[in-house]
A and B are shown apart, each in its own frame.
Chain A
Amino acid sequence: MFALSVARRYLFSNPSQTALLIAGVALGVTAFVFITALIQGLAIRLTDDVTANSAHVSLEPLTRVARVLPSPDADVESVAVVSTFQRRQIRAWASTVELLRSQSSVLAISPQISGSAFLVKGEAVAPVAVTAIDPSGLDAISPISTELVSGDANLGADGILIGVRLAENLGLSAGQPVLFRTDRGIDRLLTVRGVFQTGLQSLDERVAYLSIQTARPLFRLPEGVTNIEIKLIDPNSAREFAAFLHEATGLRATSWQEKNASLEGALTAQAQTGTLIQLFSLISVLIGIASALSLSANRRRGEIGIMRAFGVSRRFIAAVFVWQGLLIGMVGAGIGCLSGFALCAWLASLTKPDGTMALPIAPAEGGYVAVFLLTTLGAVLASVIPARSAARLDPLEAIQQ
């Protein structure tokens, strides 16, 4: 431990130089924290955007594929062709909902009939993706009722909710009638009850909501549903939960991650870029420490020589420099973590005029423990080079200079 007090003394002997060195380390660590918090924040925001407005797991009937049927004539294989006109549905949806209700990880369940249709208003015709749900569960997956810009969310028996783009395209507004034509060729006059704006163009231009009771005759589904949408308490567990559901129900279960494979790819690429920047900031910190300690070892050649002459061991000399590296690394990393957190917290508090965060930064996700440990460990490793050269100094040469 005497080596530690010598190391401390050395660092304090030149306070401004030591402060500069520590500031350099802290700056690198701050950069590390910033980039980590930013990348994590971006990932969280993207994930939140996706998971907030869509289901975490979707259940559908298995896709029907053409199957090869066994034939009495071994040379001929006959193919069973499944009618594409037969709508795929989940008949036993009530028992599936029952199963889902019993799962503590499930936040919300929405049995739906999804289909396509056209809205006709005078000469104008627009295709829509229909989501028919139980009106009481309107907000189960996406908070539609909070996104209404006109009208209300009261669907009733003949109501329909449409997006703001669609309303513009067709010249529709709340309270007006519109002709609804399904892909089955069934027509019905519905009333636009409300117009919503999610901010996502695909939704605002293409999606319409109606009551499942209204939809049943229109899509000729008196009992079944086409899909069950599920929200989980923890979106990150969607993959495992989907696998579980597939096992339990035999239905096709798709997690939100699967549906958004490109998002995952983007997040991975982003994380890799982040790792590269983190690596560079760490390396520059370590090079800084190694070179500063090398300079110090060189400047103190005479002292080191005399210590060696009166019998101080090589290990002691090496320990003095390793301790210096450790102290600089620890103090620099500590200050860097604090200033990094302060910077991120400040950036996170900045808002755009509309009240949303200016930068999607997550101050809590700065990788503080990792950067502290990496910097401290790295500082020790960086000090090994100057420590070895100091310990190997020939005392006679050092003294005679």
Chain B
Amino acid sequence: MSAVLDVREIRMTFRNGDELTEVLKGIDLALEPGELAALLGASGSGKSTLLSIVGLLLRPTTGTITIAGQRVEGFSDTESALFRNQRLGFIFQFHHLLPDFTATENVAFPAAAPAGGITPSMRQRARELLARVGLSDRMDFPARRLSGGQKQRVAIARALMNKPDLVLADEPTGSLDRIAAEQVLDLMREVNREDGATFLICTHDEHVAARCTRRITLQDGHVEGNAQAESISK
């Protein structure tokens, strides 16, 4: 089976004036379809940076990225946007729903914007997804009236709208309380199991990591396990 995500030798150096900070020092990472992977590491270890690079929101200094068989690191802005729209799903710590739109409209948005409007079939799918995340009774609520946990569940449904190959989540439970976090996590596990959607989830939370099918830890700009593997093989 070919990998959904295959990154090789990713390096990322930030420049602040004359000061250079090398955050990622050669990341190699592959995700198989259906994996639910936790990306762990100390604060400042570069988790969000790596996720942004994989999500085509940030260009790495060097390295190659293959998603669903396509080399993407050389994409133009427009190609990246189109690719994000069709192949990737995003969940952020702060949901960033569109507060003036209903839950259904928020979920349908990634499909509606490029198509020029919400079609009945988009609405239908959005409603199914909302039912899936347990919000059947909130479909026509304006997003601003939803609770934090409800908003994050809408954000998950939105990330799934265009049937992405890979869902990238940055601290998806970071701003939720224990119970809401639990629900969101269960939901992601369920979608992962039932749809075979592949997840890469950045988290600090051991609790989250424990429920994932795989743990990837960043340390000193490397993937920890890999670094070990390298040192063992030497």
* Residues of chain A whose beta carbon lies under 8 Å from any beta carbon of chain B: 1-2, 5, 9-10, 12-13, 302-303, 305-314, 316, 395-396, 399-400
Interface stretch, picked from B35-43, B112-120, B181-189, is B112-120
Asked whether A2 lies within 8 Å of B158 as measured between CB atoms, the reply is: no
**Which stretch of B60-68, B89-97, B129-137 is in the interface?**
B89-97
Chain B: interface size category: 35 or more
Cβ contact within 8 Å between B92 and A312: no
Other-chain residue from A13, A311, A396, A399 in contact with B82 (beta carbon distance below 8 A): A311
* Chain B residues within an 8 Å CB radius of A9: 100-101
B110 near A310 with CB under 8 A, answer yes
In the complex with contacts A9-B100, A306-B92, A311-B117 CB distance below 8 A = no
- Which residues on the B side are within 8 Å of A5 (C-beta)? 117
16 contacts between A and B (CB under 8 A): A9-B101, A12-B100, A13-B100, A309-B90, A309-B92, A310-B89, A310-B90, A310-B110, A311-B83, A311-B84, A311-B113, A313-B113, A395-B57, A396-B57, A396-B58, A399-B92
B65 to chain A, nearest CB (A): 16
Which residues 40-62 in B have Cβ within 8 Å of A in the complex? 48, 52, 55, 57-58
Contact flag A312-B81 (CB < 8 Å), given A9-B100, A9-B101: yes
Contact call B113/A316, Cβ cutoff below 8 A: yes
B96–A313 touching, CB < 8 Å: no
Q: How far is the CB of A327 from the nearest CB of chain B, in Å?
A: 15
**A302 contact from B57, B81, B94, B116, Cβ within 8 A:** B94
**Interface residue from A2, A305, A311 paired with B96 (Cβ < 8 Å):** A305
B52 neighbours in A (Cβ, 8 Å): 396
B111-156 with Cβ < 8 A to chain A: 112-118
Asked if B92 and A313 make an inter-chain contact with CB atoms under 8 angstroms apart, the answer reads no
* A320 to B, closest residue via Cβ: B113
Given A13-B100, A302-B96, A396-B52, is A309 in contact with B84 using a C-beta cutoff of 8 Å?
A: yes
Tell me, yes or no, whether B233 is within 8 Å of chain A by CB: no
Task: Check: B85 CB closer than 8 A to any chain A CB.
Answer: yes
**CB-CB nearest in chain B for A401:** B94
Contact B109 A311 (CB under 8 A): no
Give the interface centre of A307, A308, A310 by most chain B CB atoms within 10 Å: A310
Is B99 a contact of A13 with CB atoms below 8 Å?
yes
Query: Which of chain A's residues have a CB closer than 8 A to the CB of B158?
Result: 310
Instruction: Give A388 Cβ to nearest chain B Cβ, in Å.
Output: 15
* Residues on the A chain within 8 Å of B92, using CB: 306, 309, 399
| B61 → A minimal CB distance (Å) | 16
Instruction: Select one of B57, B77, B113 contacting A312, CB under 8 A.
Output: B113
Contacts of A306 in B (CB 8 A): 90, 92, 96-98
User: A2: which B residues are within 8 A, CB to CB?
Assistant: 112-113, 115-118
B192 at the interface (CB under 8 A from A): no
Known: A2-B117, A311-B83, A312-B81. A10 touches B94 (CB 8 A): no
Is B226 an interface residue when CB atoms closer than 8 A count as contact?
no
Contact A311 B116 (CB under 8 A): no
Q: Mark B170-202, 1 if CB is under 8 A from A, else 0.
A: 000000000000000000000000000000000
* Cα(A314)–Cα(B114), bound, Å: 11
Q: Tell me the bound Cα distance from A303 to B92 in angstroms.
A: 12
Task: Indicate which residue in A12, A302, A303, A307 contacts B113 across the interface (CB closer than 8 Å).
Answer: A307
Chain A residues positioned under 8 Å from B115 (CB to CB): 2
In Å, the complex CA distance between A2 and B52 comes to 28
Q: Are A313 and B57 neighbours in the complex by a CB distance under 8 Å?
A: no
Is the CB of B217 closer than 8 A to any CB of chain A?
no
Complex Cα spacing A309 to B86, Å: 11
Q: Supply 8 further A-B pairs (C-beta < 8 A) apart from A306-B90, A307-B113, A312-B110.
A: A2-B116, A10-B100, A309-B90, A312-B109, A312-B114, A314-B77, A316-B114, A396-B52
Residues of chain B within 8 A of A310, CB atoms compared: 84-85, 88-90, 109-110, 158-159
Q: Nearest chain-B residue to A313 (Cβ)?
A: B81
Residue of A10, A12, A13, A311 near B81 (CB, 8 A) is A311
Set of chain A residues within 8 Å of B117, measured between Cβ atoms: 1-2, 5
With a cutoff of 8 Å between Cβ atoms, the chain B residues found around residue A302 in the complex are 94, 96
B98 touching A303 by the CB < 8 A rule? yes
List the B residue with the shortest CB-CB distance to A13. Answer: B100
A307 and B114 form a contact (CB under 8 A)? no
Cα(A310)–Cα(B83), bound, Å? 9
Decide if B2 is an interface residue (CB 8 Å cutoff). Answer: no
Q: How far is A309 from B80 in the complex, measured between Cα atoms in Å? A: 10
B157 CB, nearest partner CB in chain A, Å: 12
Contacts of B21 in A (CB 8 A): none
Chain A contacts for B96, CB-based, 8 A: 302-303, 305-306, 399
Q: How far is the CA of A306 from the CA of B101 in the complex (A)?
A: 14
How far does the alpha carbon of A2 sit from the alpha carbon of B94 in the complex, in Å? 25
What's the nearest-Cβ distance from chain A to residue B152, in Å? 13
- When distances are taken between beta carbons in the complex, the residues of chain B under 8 Å from A309 are 55, 57, 84, 90, 92
Distance of A302 Cα from B144 Cα, bound (Å): 14
- Closest Cβ of chain B to A337, distance in Å, is 29
